[in-house]
Amino acid sequence: MFRWYAINTYSGHENKVKTNLEHRIDSMNQHPRFRRVVVPTEQVIETKDGQKVQTEKRILPGYVLVNMDLNDDAWTVVKNTPGVTGFVGAGTKPVPLSQGEVDRILRTGATAGERPRAQVEFSLGESVKVTSGPLSDFDGEIVDVNPDQQKLKVLVDIFERQVPVELGFDQVKKID
Q: Which pTM does this prediction carry?
A: 0.62
CATH 2.30.30.30 positions along the chain are 127-174
Range list of β-strands (E), the chain: 2-9, 34-38, 41-48, 51-58, 63-69, 84-87, 117-118, 127-130, 139-146, 151-158, 161-168, 172-174
Q: Say whether domain 127-174 belongs to CATH 2.30.30.30.
A: yes
Nearest to 117 by CA among 150, 89, 93, 144: 150
CATH class of 2-118: alpha beta
> Under a CB-based contact definition with an 8 Å cutoff, are residues 151 and 136 in contact?
no
Pairwise CA distance, residues 26 & 24, whole Å: 5
Which pLDDT value is given to residue 122?
Answer: 80
In the predicted model, residues of the chain with pLDDT beneath 70 are 47, 49-50, 91, 108-120
Which pLDDT value is given to residue 120?
Answer: 65
Please give the backbone phi and psi of residue 23, each rounded to the nearest 5 degrees, phi first: -65, -40
Pairwise CA distance, residues 73 & 77, whole Å: 6
- What number of other Cβ atoms are within 10 A of residue 127's Cβ? 13
